[in-house]
């Protein structure tokens, strides 16, 4: 029986130290120490021994059981430790690795230019206002001295949403809304989107951007208009650029002018960009027509004013030498990433 015990103990020790995971250990525990285990079975055989031998043998079997049990506990702990170690190793984050590059968003070139324009006029004391994109015929045309039969009202130019409701064709609509709600002195700008039923090509888009300006006060003259707009042109294009005021016509201003700057591409010699002219038109302006002041309840005998409408898209394409306006609206990441 002693030899049997020794053989079982040796086999158990060998098995336990070779076990590779907790499942195997548990199987071994059952095999040797369980209710029907081999060591337990030995204890049951004690009845066949002499009374003197019984306690000795009992002691031996119990010792063996304790030994195997201790081994199992030890092996279990070791395996657990090993498993934890492996898990930690597999989950380790190498903080010395360089991080993956993430894309950082930027401002659209139109937003960059709009913000710059706002900065320039704010520094001259202008308030920034917002106007609705869906306008009425009243604000977009009627109060701006655009008569009923003016070609600008043609269905081909204007997107009508309903009778007398339209997508504003010019930010000038904001002028009237401002003069209705503010008393002079008025000094405001209103940047925003405008809409016209134009065919899309390199220089036309049905959606584009304008920045409207309006100044109304006592004693405002054409000199104020010229001073402000010349200053603006130099801030945008630099001091070396030449500024030219050219007589023009707008129904809501009298007199009216268009403002050109010397071509940013060729400096005025004439090139493809300025179509050989040497000049690039950047805005329309003029002294607010007395009819417009009157339609807003401002007495033209007391107050005068000037207004201007800057083409933001034009400023953007000339500043960044963008040859096709469509690039501004396609939002190709490769294009936008350059700004």
CA distance 193 to 208: 6
Q: By CB under 6 A, is residue 140 in contact with ligand DAH? A: no
Q: What's the distance, CA 92 to chain centroid?
A: 33
Cα 204 from Cα 336, distance rounded (Å): 20
Longest dimension (CA), the chain: 138
Binding-site string for ligand DAH from residue 10 to residue 39, where x marks contact by CB under 6 A and - marks none: ------------------------------
Q: Shortest approach of ligand DAH to residue 284 CB, angstroms?
A: 3
x/- site string to ligand DAH, residues 207 to 226, per CB under 6 A?
Answer: -----x--------------
- In whole angstroms, the minimum distance from the beta carbon of 306 to ligand DAH comes to 7
> CB 96 → ligand DAH: shortest distance, Å?
59
User: In the bound complex, which residue of the shown chain has the CB atom lying closest to ligand DAH?
Assistant: 309
Gap between the Cα atoms of 229 and 208, Å rounded? 21
Residue corresponding to tokens 């800057």: 310
Based on the shown chain and the rule CB under 6 A, indicate whether residue 260 belongs to the binding site for ligand DAH: no
**Binding positions for ligand DAH, 165-194, rule CB under 6 A:** 170, 172
Residues 109, 192, 251, 286: which binds ligand DAH (CB under 6 A)? 286
Helices (H), the chain: 2-18, 22-33, 38-44, 53-91, 109-123, 137-140, 173-181, 222-237, 290-295, 312-319, 327-330, 333-336
- Could you say whether residue 305 binds ligand DAH (CB under 6 A)? no
| 313 lies in the site for ligand DAH, by CB under 6 A | no
Token pair belonging to 141: 């045309």
CB nearer to ligand DAH: pick between 76 and 193: 193
Q: What are the Cα distances from residue 11, in Å, to 5, 79, 116, 186?
A: 10, 20, 87, 102
Asked if residue 312 binds ligand DAH (CB under 6 A), the reply is no
263-280 CB burial, b ≥16 within 10 A, e <16: bbbeebeeeebbeeebbb
As a whole number of angstroms, the distance between CA 236 and CA 239 comes to 9
Q: In the set 232, 237, 303, 308, which binds ligand DAH (CB under 6 A)? A: 308
Minimum Å distance from CB 119 to ligand DAH?
20
Based on the shown chain and the rule CB under 6 A, indicate whether residue 328 belongs to the binding site for ligand DAH: no
Which residues of the shown chain bind ligand DAH in the complex (CB under 6 A)? 170, 172, 212, 250, 253, 284-286, 307-309
């Amino acid at each position: 029986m002693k030899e049997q015990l020794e053989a079982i103990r040796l086999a158990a020790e060998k098995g336990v130290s070779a076990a590779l995971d907790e499942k195997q250990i548990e199987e071994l525990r059952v095999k040797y120490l369980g209710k029907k285990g081999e060591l337990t079975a030995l204890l049951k055989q004690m009845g066949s021994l002499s009374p003197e031998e019984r306690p000795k043998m009992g002691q031996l079997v119990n010792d063996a059981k304790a030994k195997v049990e201790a081994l199992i506990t030890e092996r279990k702990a070791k395996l657990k430790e090993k498993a934890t170690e492996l898990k930690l190793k597999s989950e380790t984050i190498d903080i010395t690795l360089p991080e993956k590059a993430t894309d950082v968003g930027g401002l659209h070139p139109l937003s960059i230019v709009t913000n710059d324009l706002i900065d320039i006029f704010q520094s001259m004391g202008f308030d920034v206002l917002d106007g609705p994109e869906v306008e009425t015929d009243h604000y977009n045309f009627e109060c701006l001295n655009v008569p009923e039969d003016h070609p600008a009202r043609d269905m081909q130019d204007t997107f009508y949403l309903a009778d007398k409701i339209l997508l504003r064709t010019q930010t000038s609509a904001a002028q009237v809304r401002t003069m209705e709600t503010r008393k002079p002195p008025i000094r405001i700008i209103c940047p925003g989107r405008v809409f016209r039923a134009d065919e899309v090509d390199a220089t036309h888009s049905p959606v584009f951007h304008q920045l409207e300006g309006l100044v109304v006060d006592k004693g405002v003259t054409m000199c104020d208009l010229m001073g402000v707009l010349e200053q603006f042109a130099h801030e945008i294009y630099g001091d070396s650029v030449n500024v030219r005021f050219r007589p023009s016509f707008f129904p809501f201003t009298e007199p009216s002018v268009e403002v050109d700057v010397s071509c940013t591409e060729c400096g005025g010699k004439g090139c493809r960009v300025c179509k050989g002219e040497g000049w690039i038109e950047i805005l329309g302006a003029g002294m607010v027509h007395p009819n417009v002041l009157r339609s807003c309840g401002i007495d033209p005998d007391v107050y005068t004013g000037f207004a201007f409408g800057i083409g933001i898209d034009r400023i953007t394409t000339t500043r960044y030498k963008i040859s096709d306006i469509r690039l501004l609206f396609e939002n190709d990441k490769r294009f936008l990433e350059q700004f």
